[in-house]
Amino acid sequence: MKENNTMKALRAHAPYDYRLEDIPRPAPKEGEILIRVLACGICAGDVKSYHGGIRIWGTSEADRYIDAPVTGGHEICGEVVELGEGVSDFSVGDRIVTEQIVPCGECVYCRRGTYWMCTRSAVYGFKEVCPGGFAEYAILPRTSINHKVPESLTLEQATLIEPIACGMHALERAQIQHSDVVVISGLGGIGLSMLSIAAAAMPRLVIGLDVRPERAARGLDYGADYVFNPAECDVAEEIRNLTDGLGCDVYVEVSGSPISVRQGLECTANLGRFVQMGVFADLVQADWNVIGDGKELTILGSHLSGLTYPAVIRGIESGVIKTDGIVTHTFALGEWEKAFETAEKDPTALKVLLVPGE
């Protein structure tokens, strides 16, 4: 560790005002773990946050989620370098991933075991109590939920655990049956991995959707039976052609595109399930009558990754969950501007990593 007790960290001060700064290196208190960050993925939410997304920055300080300035990043993989008093589940040198939410452990949702819905929770990279992984070191708080990474997993695979766990939770919410036709809308890094998870449930069909040809072309390799580009065809018509005119049973919206919501309501069959996972930069308008008066749809939200990390780790390790080629770019922490631009604009980018040690 640095002798001067400082470290580099990417700090969010305001929309479009992110700064790579030297800040004090933290020391673990009782129950805490200090990790050396090995890599941290850039989430679509991080990019939207940089652009002032209303979900993060709100409309004023009164409804703002982020505590600025704060160190960003929640897709964290690190190596344990120091343990606070009372930590016995981990050892110095362990490779570790931490769930993106730090629950309070005391509210009604935590007591029920549904900690990912904690009313007093904090997500790494947005709150002062849990600065994120866009830094050389990070503290994992006392109530953080952490998992050892098997030696068989590469660093790239380990960093994918967090986003894939979110995708697995969304598919759990869908309660896929073997007779279902399942649509995954948005084939970024999470969406592609969801194709293989959905296919492992052995539904009737798995269909992938994406407007980027480079992503759509990968879908068949990750488990889709069909892949359609909404910019090139009438997706609802294509799906009806495959389902005797009925539509899909499950539509999982991963892209965070308002157009995908309206498309999904059109594509989904009567009594179907619509799962919203993607995060929007702004408010969404859709014909809500379709849900009740039209099709009697079940609308399901999906928040974070409750209880899925162990299964994702096993799935990646066994090869059931495909990860080859999902990490497309890696940048040093000092190249964060290029990394964010690549994640947002490069058509070949799926998952972009920041690696503080490079």
- Category of 325 on φ-ψ map: left (φ > 0), alpha (ψ -120 to 50) or beta: left
Whether 98 is in a domain gets the answer yes
Are 51 and 116 within one domain? yes
Are 13 and 109 within one domain? yes
Q: For the residues 13-37, what does the mean pLDDT come to?
A: 97
Give the contacts of 59 (CB within 8 A, at least 6 positions apart).
none
Confidence of residue 96 (pLDDT cuts 50, 70, 90): very high
Are 10 and 145 within one domain? yes
**Peptide linkage before 69 cis (omega within 30 of 0):** yes
Number of domains within the chain: 2
Give the residue numbers spanning the domain of 345: 6-149+326-355
Are 184 and 290 within one domain? yes
Whether 132 is in a domain gets the answer yes
Residue 298 DSSP symbol: E
List, in sequence order, every residue forming a beta bridge with 77; answer none if it has no partner.
39, 97
- Category of 74 on φ-ψ map: left (φ > 0), alpha (ψ -120 to 50) or beta: alpha
Are 120 and 252 within one domain? no
Give the range with max mean pLDDT: 79-93, 113-127, 275-289: 79-93
Given a cut of 60, is residue 152 above it in pLDDT?
A: yes
Whether 309 is in a domain gets the answer no
Are 258 and 342 within one domain? no
Percent of the chain surpassing pLDDT 90: 91
Beta-carbon count within 10 A of 71 CB: 23
Instruction: Return the pLDDT at 63.
Output: 87
Question: Which amino acid is residue 156, in one-letter code?
Answer: E
334-39-191-256 Cα dihedral, nearest 10 degrees: -50
Q: For the residues 295-305, what does the mean pLDDT come to?
A: 97
Confidence of residue 1 (pLDDT cuts 50, 70, 90): very low
Instruction: Return the pLDDT at 280.
Output: 84
Are 22 and 131 within one domain? yes
Whether 321 is in a domain gets the answer no
Instruction: Yes or no: say if 163 and 141 are a contact pair by the CB < 8 Å rule.
Output: no
Confidence of residue 283 (pLDDT cuts 50, 70, 90): confident
Alpha carbon of residue 269 to chain centroid: 27
Q: For the residues 211-240, what does the mean pLDDT come to?
A: 95
CATH number of the domain encompassing residue 227: 3.40.50.720
Whether 156 is in a domain gets the answer no
Instruction: Return the pLDDT at 81.
Output: 98
Task: Write out pLDDT tens, residues 46-61.
Answer: 999 999 988 899 888 8
Instruction: Return the pLDDT at 226.
Output: 98
Given a cut of 80, is residue 288 above it in pLDDT?
A: yes
DSSP-derived secondary structure for 287-340: -GGGTTTTS-PEEEE--TTTT-HHHHHHHHHHTSS--TTTEEEEEEGGGHHHHH
Whether 306 is in a domain gets the answer no
Residue with tokens 């005797």: 244
Instruction: Yes or no: say if 24 and 17 are a contact pair by the CB < 8 Å rule.
Output: no
List, in sequence order, every residue forming a beta bridge with 76; answer none if it has no partner.
40
CATH number of the domain encompassing residue 77: 3.90.180.10
Percent of the chain surpassing pLDDT 70: 99
Helix (H) or strand (E) holding 348: none
Confidence of residue 98 (pLDDT cuts 50, 70, 90): very high
Are 140 and 12 within one domain? yes
Task: Assign 231 to helix, strand or coil.
Answer: coil
Distance separating alpha carbons of residues 96 and 76, to the nearest angstrom: 9
Are 112 and 242 within one domain? no
